[in-house]
């Protein structure tokens, strides 16, 4: 509402909010309280062309049916309404009654005194409403309603004039705040030109420490800081410093700017690390020297003098130019205390990648967002394939572990007759996908997350090296193997030999086909294949997408906000819901994407789920 404005005050407020420079106006002097007078001009009123605003400026007293015989009763009713603080809402309220009495008896001193008391009480309520307008916009509507009543009753009363001025000031503050907030939404911050900053400063010049304007000022500061952080993310450190300097002028003692400067510095460090990793990754590609040197130039542009990452990348580029680049991929097995050998492990190179789905990726879910950069400071070794039935059998024979499906007496298997997955008794880790005895070279199925972790604990004890389930970051990093496309092989259809996937050419023993499959693809298997039956990926690892889905060490989270950036498992103590990664022999194409992830109780077992292990180096 924009309805009440004393002319002189309106000019003063307009000057505070519409000047041409960036300097905040001087605080306005307190309006002196006019001396009480029965005479004098009524305040000048500005009325907008909005009919609704004009209507809210006026108040018509409710009609009171009154004659001379009922004057005494009306006086009593009006006095009672004053005691009950019922001022104007209906014909039984104090002000309508007193106005009706005075219309019949203009010289009724008791009615005049009562009307003055009612007006005084009404103005006190209006002042209480005005005191809430900084926190509650609805209170301003109440203050306007009271203003219309007061103006109708006695527009020349000095108390009414002061109150109308206060309402006008509240209107102006609301208008400036709303204009500032619209500027904020449109990213017109106004650090150098007209915009949100000027509006909020104008409010604070009129009412220092006004909460809404202070909040707006903090929002402008946040907007400038976001610009600084965005510039830093793009590697524009000069622009980032400029925006931080602008933000620092707004609230010098808040500490916010120092925190933002620390984040900008952290971003600089992350960019240096990322470009360092990109340069190293480029050296592993044919004719990658030019790209690596370009990344080194990026690093040197923003790195602090003496930065070790810049020195390391320069040294590696020199080595690659003259002697070639050392390539990870070494395979090994650990000797176990019982004389056997552990699973065959493959060294995965350290480095960084963008984890999660791209925003526009088809089939992606919100659980795969936001895409974020993850960097591994150290390489790690991952078993080249899923843990087999034979490998798990050695653990079971050595420890007597009571596996979940064995203890429960059943698991979920594939039923060829119905084409569905059903619960079947007597099925455990020794069983295949339909519940028959499993061959030793098949991936072990029907194991819970705790069964898998018991196996890794046994390997750790037997080998003297730390074995564990992979984090989901490690799993996706190993699956992508340097590829940032939606599929482990990149873009487009699955090429032949991509793994044991749901292909349209696959047939079950009774001739069933998949209703949702990779078109034109077949791998000759319905159900899990023996491990390492397909082709390894670039890191020398098999079936990360296909054959069986796999347990990871992570607890389930609905998305990646606040996820670790160093590749560690994201674990909440005592969590019961875990992350499953990698598509299986019976997964839809969307579930075979590199970013796909699913939640599951850590106690479930079924014919599509197994695991592999990681060894720390």
Contacts of 27 (CB under 8 A, 6+ apart): 205, 206, 208
Strands (E), 458-607: 467-468, 549-555, 577-581, 597-601
Whole-angstrom distance, CA of residue 172 vs CA of residue 180: 12
pLDDT digits (tens, 9 = 90+) for 302-324: 888 888 999 999 988 875 665 34
| Tokens found for residue 468 | 């564990």
Does the pLDDT value for residue 588 go beyond 90? yes
The most confident of 207-211, 461-465, 493-497, by mean pLDDT: 461-465
pLDDT digits (tens, 9 = 90+) for 257-305: 888 888 888 888 899 999 999 998 888 787 788 999 999 999 998 888 8
DSSP state of 503: B
Angle between helices 289-302 and 308-323 in degrees, nearest 10: 160
Compute the half-sphere exposure of residue 19: CA atoms within 13 Å on the CB side of its CA: 16
CB burial of residue 352 (10 Å; 0-12, 13-18, 19+): buried
Q: What are the domain boundaries of the chain?
A: 7-185, 265-323, 345-387+451-616
Residue whose structure tokens are 């009154």: 66
Whole-angstrom distance, CA of residue 201 vs CA of residue 190: 11
- Sign of the alpha-carbon dihedral angle for 482, 488, 490, 494: positive
Does the pLDDT value for residue 9 go beyond 60? no
Does the pLDDT value for residue 57 go beyond 70? no
331-332 vs 345-348, strand pairing mode: antiparallel
C-alpha closest to that of 609 among 578, 580, 569, 579: 580
Residue 409: pLDDT band (50, 70, 90) is: very high
Does the pLDDT value for residue 31 go beyond 70? no
Q: Is 387 helix (H, G, I), strand (E, B) or coil?
A: coil
Q: Whole-model pTM above 0.85?
A: no
CB burial of residue 289 (10 Å; 0-12, 13-18, 19+): middle
pLDDT digits (tens, 9 = 90+) for 499-517: 999 999 999 999 999 999 9
Residue 313 · residue 295 · CB < 8 Å:
yes
**345-387+451-616, CATH topology level:** 3.90.1580
Residue 583 · residue 489 · CB < 8 Å:
no
Residue 440 · residue 433 · CB < 8 Å:
no
Q: What is the mean pLDDT of residues 192-220?
A: 86
**How many residues does the structure list for the chain?**
617
């Amino acid at each position: 509402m924009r309805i009440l404005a004393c002319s002189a005050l309106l000019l003063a407020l307009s000057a505070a909010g519409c000047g041409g420079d960036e300097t905040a106006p001087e605080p306005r002097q307190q309006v002196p309280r006019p001396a009480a007078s029965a005479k004098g001009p009524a305040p000048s009123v500005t009325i907008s062309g909005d009919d609704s605003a004009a209507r809210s400026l006026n108040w018509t007293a409710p009609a009171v049916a009154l004659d001379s015989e009922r004057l005494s009763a009306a006086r009593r009713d009006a006095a009672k309404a004053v005691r009950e603080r019922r001022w104007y809402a209906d014909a039984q309220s104090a002000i309508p009654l007193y106005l009706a009495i005075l219309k019949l008896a203009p010289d009724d001193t008791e009615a005049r005194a009562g009307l003055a008391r009612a007006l005084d009480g009404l103005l006190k309520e209006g002042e209480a409403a005005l005191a809430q307008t900084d926190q509650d916009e609805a209170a301003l509507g109440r203050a306007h309603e009271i203003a219309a009543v007061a103006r109708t009753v006695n527009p020349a009363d000095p108390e009414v004039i002061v109150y109308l001025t206060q309402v006008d000031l509240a209107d102006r503050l609301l208008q400036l705040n709303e204009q500032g907030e619209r500027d904020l939404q449109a990213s017109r911050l106004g650090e150098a030109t007209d915009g949100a900053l000027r509006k909020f400063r104008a409010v604070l010049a009129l009412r220092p420490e006004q909460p809404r304007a202070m909040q707006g000022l903090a929002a402008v500061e946040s907007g400038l800081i976001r610009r600084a952080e965005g510039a830093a993310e793009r590697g524009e450190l000069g622009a980032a410093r400029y925006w931080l300097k602008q933000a620092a002028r707004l609230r010098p003692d808040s500490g916010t700017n120092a925190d933002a400067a620390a984040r900008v510095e952290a971003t600089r460090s992350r960019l240096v690390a990322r470009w360092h990793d990109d340069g190293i990754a480029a050296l592993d590609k044919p004719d990658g020297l030019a790209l690596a040197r370009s990344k080194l130039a990026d690093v040197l542009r923003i790195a602090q003098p003496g930065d070790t990452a810049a020195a390391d990348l320069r040294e590696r580029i020199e080595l690659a130019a003259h002697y070639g680049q050392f390539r990870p991929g070494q395979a090994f097995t650990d000797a176990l205390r019982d004389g056997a050998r552990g699973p065959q492990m493959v060294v995965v190179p350290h480095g960084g990648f963008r984890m999660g789905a791209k925003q526009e990726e088809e089939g992606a879910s919100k659980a795969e967002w936001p895409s974020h950069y993850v960097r591994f400071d150290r390489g790690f070794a991952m078993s080249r394939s899923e843990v087999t039935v034979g490998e798990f059998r050695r653990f079971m024979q050595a420890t007597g572990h009571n596996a979940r499906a064995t203890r429960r007496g059943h698991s979920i298997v594939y039923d060829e007759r119905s084409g569905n997955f059903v619960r079947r008794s007597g099925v455990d880790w020794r069983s295949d996908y339909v519940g028959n005895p499993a061959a030793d070279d098949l991936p072990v199925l029907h194991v819970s997350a705790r069964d898998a972790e018991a196996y890794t604990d046994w390997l750790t004890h037997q080998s003297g090296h730390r074995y564990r389930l992979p984090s989901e970051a490690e799993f996706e990093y190993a699956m992508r193997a340097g590829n940032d496309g939606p599929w482990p092989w990149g873009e487009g259809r699955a090429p032949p030999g991509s793994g044991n996937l749901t292909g349209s050419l696959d047939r079950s023993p009774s001739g069933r086909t998949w209703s949702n499959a990779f078109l034109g693809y077949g791998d000759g298997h319905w159900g899990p294949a023996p491990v390492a039956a397909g082709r390894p990926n670039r890191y020398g690892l098999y079936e990360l997408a296909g054959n069986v889905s796999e347990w990871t060490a992570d607890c389930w989270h609905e998305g990646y906000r606040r996820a670790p950036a160093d590749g560690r498992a994201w674990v909440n103590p005592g969590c019961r819901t875990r992350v499953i990664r990698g598509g299986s022999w019976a997964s839809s194409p969307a579930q075979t994407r590199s970013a796909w992830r699913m939640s599951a109780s850590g106690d479930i077992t079924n014919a599509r789920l197994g695991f592999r292990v990681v060894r720390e180096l």
